[in-house]
């Protein structure tokens, strides 16, 4: 099996793992950033979360491994693909690495909030605000990954125009949602739909790119 095959499987594995993790969060009724829940409800939820918080986090490292392999495969495939593609591919790779680091911090903050909620409500509220803003800013790095790899793929002739435009539009939506992050400290995001649509576009973009890598 070639590395491009592994990269394609990594992209598909990321999307599948993300669906499973979000399903576990919904099933466990865990507080989600930008959910719009009031602060008292958030603190009560973290205080009572128990082992429900640990189950989705067990899968989280798989997400970061999959996206890193996927991004490395894209970088290798698009390198020397034409004028400017190397630089754009590096931009996309940097975006993936930064979103992995940022989301690891968001994931760790959930455990800090669960621990704090059992002892000090004020600390939980402060950590919740930090988590919300960090989660919002993370969308910028998704946008950077989409922009970089879409431009590189289109420049190298590796992806069709519609796929590149899916990346550009999703990146724009995520950038707009990210820019509103400082106003979402308490978890209420008036343009959350833009971020959600952008993330769904990002997931679909990865699936299509993964299939292209498997066929390469």
Question: Residue 61's Cα: distance from chain center in Å?
Answer: 13
Q: What is the DSSP string of 10-21?
A: HHHHHHHHHHHH
What are 63-101's pLDDT values in tens digits?
Answer: 899 999 999 999 999 988 666 788 999 999 999 999 999
Lowest mean pLDDT of 2-6, 11-15, 46-50, 201-205, name the range. 46-50
Is residue 42 within 8 Å of 186, Cβ to Cβ? no
> With 80 as the cut, is the pLDDT of residue 187 above it?
no
Domain ranges of the chain: 3-215
Q: What pLDDT score does 126 carry?
A: 81
Residue 50 burial (10 A CB sphere; 0-12, 13-18, 19+) = exposed
Output the six-digit token pair for 160.
């069709």
> With 90 as the cut, is the pLDDT of residue 111 above it?
no
> With 80 as the cut, is the pLDDT of residue 159 above it?
yes
Round to whole Å and give the CA distance between 29 and 40. 15
> With 80 as the cut, is the pLDDT of residue 164 above it?
yes
């Amino acid at each position: 099996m070639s590395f491009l095959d592994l990269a394609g499987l990594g992209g598909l594995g990321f999307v599948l793992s993300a669906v499973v993790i979000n399903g576990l969060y919904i099933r466990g009724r865990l507080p989600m950033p930008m959910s719009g829940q009031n602060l008292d409800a958030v603190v009560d939820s973290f205080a009572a979360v128990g082992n429900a918080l640990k189950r989705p986090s067990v899968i989280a490292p798989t997400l970061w491994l999959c996206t890193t392999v996927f991004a490395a495969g894209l970088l290798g495939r698009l390198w020397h693909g034409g004028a400017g593609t190397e630089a754009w591919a590096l931009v996309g790779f940097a975006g993936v690495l930064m979103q992995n680091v940022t989301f690891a911090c968001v994931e760790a903050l959930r455990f800090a909030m669960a621990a704090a909620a059992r002892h000090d409500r004020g600390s939980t509220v402060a950590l919740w605000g930090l988590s919300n803003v960090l989660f919002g800013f993370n969308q910028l790095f998704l946008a950077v990954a989409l922009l970089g790899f879409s431009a590189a793929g289109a420049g190298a002739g590796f992806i069709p125009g519609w796929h590149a435009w899916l990346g550009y539009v999703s990146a724009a939506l995520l950038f707009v949602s990210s820019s509103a992050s400082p106003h979402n400290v308490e978890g209420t995001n008036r343009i959350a739909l833009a971020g959600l649509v952008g993330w769904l576009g990002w997931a679909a973009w990865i699936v299509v790119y993964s299939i292209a890598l498997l066929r390469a």
